[in-house]
């Protein structure tokens, strides 16, 4: 059969589709579309044929050379493919020599660009690939070692297939026609958007652009977009939209453009000092004071819900010193939570 790089990539994409939690039971066309969307992100004009994916499914099931022996079955009720063994995934199988070579080649390629500012995140990605390869080597040489190292499980999030067309639209100043369905809304709404930037936050991607219907900047979660197309219409970029500064004072994904940022002063227990020093919670973070018992930091941010949730998640090891309105709101939330727990116990 000869395991080429393109075939190995297709097997991984098929595996990703079959194990998807958000879109289970992919049919043959879903698998074809997933592979073609990936090829499109690479700027490849080629498309994969139906018979190619059908052969891939057979090879994943029965090929001795591959050695996956994937328990792929077809569900007549859902009209799609699934694994007949719970938690099966070829990503959990030992790496073959060809796959290891591809990963090493990819990591080395990314490493070439890690010092270029716009590709600075490659350094972390590259290190994670090499770490994974080293760990796989240890596991393959000692099967009893398999469960001694456990990776962080990043949930599969829908919407990443929109990254390529959105990126193209941003580069060419082309308007996007999209169908968007926020949480809690039964009917998706049609929107025409002038795309300005893409932002990743907590493993989810967001599109920030100007909605023609609302005539203002809006944020769209890519996993809530049900349809999207690049139109032929070109838009003139707004001088008032500064990509570099748009998220300057945001703690999270939303920009509270109608509010002024506040100076937030937080007092943490000294046990949190190492975390705050090595992983600042915001680009504006300044250490104001440090002692044997505590560390005080200052932020220049909007008083957003993401900020409040962050503070709540670190209680009781954090105190809000400033501003007073934020301190009072956090105190109110804590008191309400205690009251609700008390009421539940008394029932």
Domain ranges within the chain, ordered by starting residue:
1-91, 94-149, 160-234, 262-344
Predicted pLDDT at 293: 95
Predicted pLDDT at 74: 95
Q: How confident is the model at residue 54 (pLDDT cuts 50, 70, 90)?
A: very high
Residue 228 to residue 281: CA distance in whole angstroms: 34
Q: Please tell me which residue, 146 or 294, carries the higher pLDDT value.
A: 294
Predicted pLDDT at 140: 47
Predicted pLDDT at 90: 84
pLDDT average, residue stretch 25-51:
84
Least confident among 91-95, 196-200, 237-241: 91-95
Predicted pLDDT at 39: 78
Residue 112 to residue 101: CA distance in whole angstroms: 17
Predicted pLDDT at 135: 47
pLDDT average, residue stretch 113-121:
51
Q: How confident is the model at residue 296 (pLDDT cuts 50, 70, 90)?
A: very high
What is the pLDDT of the chain when averaged over all its residues?
82
pTM of the model: 0.58
Predicted pLDDT at 310: 93
Q: How confident is the model at residue 312 (pLDDT cuts 50, 70, 90)?
A: very high
Predicted pLDDT at 7: 82
Helix axis angle for 324-346 and 305-313, nearest 10°, is 60
Predicted pLDDT at 70: 92
pLDDT average, residue stretch 253-280:
91
Residue 248 to residue 284: CA distance in whole angstroms: 8
- The CATH number given to 262-344 is 3.30.70
Residue 188 to residue 95: CA distance in whole angstroms: 42
The pLDDT of residue 150 is above 60? no
Residue range 180-211, pLDDT digits in tens: 988 888 888 899 999 999 988 887 889 999 99
First-residue to last-residue Cα distance in the chain? 67
Q: Residue 234: what are its φ and ψ, rounded to 5°?
A: -105, 140
Residue 74 to residue 282: CA distance in whole angstroms: 47
Helix axis angle for 50-62 and 28-41, nearest 10°, is 110
Predicted pLDDT at 108: 59
**Domain 1-91 adopts which CATH fold?**
Arc Repressor Mutant, subunit A (1.10.10)
Least confident among 148-152, 259-263, 292-296, 336-340: 148-152
Please name the CATH architecture into which domain 160-234 falls.
Roll (2.30)
235 torsion bin: left (phi>0), alpha (psi -120 to 50), beta (else):
beta
Q: How many degrees, rounded to 5, is the angle at CA 281 between CA 276 and CA 284?
A: 105
Q: How confident is the model at residue 2 (pLDDT cuts 50, 70, 90)?
A: very low
The pLDDT of residue 91 is above 90? no
Q: Do 249 and 234 form a contact (C-beta atoms < 8 A)?
A: no
């Amino acid at each position: 059969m000869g395991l080429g790089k393109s075939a190995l990539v297709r097997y991984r994409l098929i595996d990703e589709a079959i194990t998807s939690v958000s879109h289970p039971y992919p049919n043959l066309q879903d698998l074809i579309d997933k592979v073609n969307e990936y090829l499109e992100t690479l700027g490849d004009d080629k498309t994969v044929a139906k018979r190619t994916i059908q052969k891939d499914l057979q090879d994943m099931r029965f090929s001795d050379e591959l050695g996956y022996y994937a328990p792929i079955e077809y569900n007549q009720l859902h009209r799609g493919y699934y694994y007949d063994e719970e938690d099966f995934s070829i990503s959990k199988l030992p790496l073959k020599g060809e796959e290891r070579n591809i990963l090493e080649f990819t990591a080395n390629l990314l490493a070439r660009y890690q010092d270029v500012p716009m590709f600075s995140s490659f350094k972390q990605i590259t290190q994670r690939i090499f770490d994974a390869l080293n760990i796989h080597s240890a596991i393959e040489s000692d099967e009893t070692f398999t469960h001694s190292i456990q990776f962080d499980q990043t949930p599969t999030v829908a919407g990443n297939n929109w990254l390529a067309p959105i990126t193209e639209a941003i580069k060419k100043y082309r308007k996007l026609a999209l169908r968007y369905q926020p949480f809690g809304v039964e009917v998706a709404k049609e929107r025409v958007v002038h795309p300005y930037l893409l932002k990743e936050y907590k493993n989810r991607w967001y599109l920030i652009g100007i909605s023609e219907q609302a005539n203002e900047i809006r944020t769209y979660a890519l996993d809530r977009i049900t349809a999207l197309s690049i139109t032929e219409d070109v838009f003139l970029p707004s001088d008032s939209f500064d990509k570099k500064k748009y998220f300057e004072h945001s703690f999270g994904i939303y920009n509270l453009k109608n509010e002024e940022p506040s100076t937030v002063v937080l007092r943490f227990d000294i046990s949190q000092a190492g975390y705050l020093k090595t992983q600042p919670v915001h680009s504006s973070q300044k250490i104001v004071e440090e002692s044997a018992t505590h560390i005080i930091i200052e932020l220049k941010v909007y008083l957003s819900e993401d900020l409040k949730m962050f503070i709540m998640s670190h209680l009781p090891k954090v105190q809000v010193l400033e501003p007073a309105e934020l301190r009072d709101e956090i105190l109110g939330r804590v008191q309400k939570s205690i009251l609700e727990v008390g009421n539940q116990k008394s029932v």
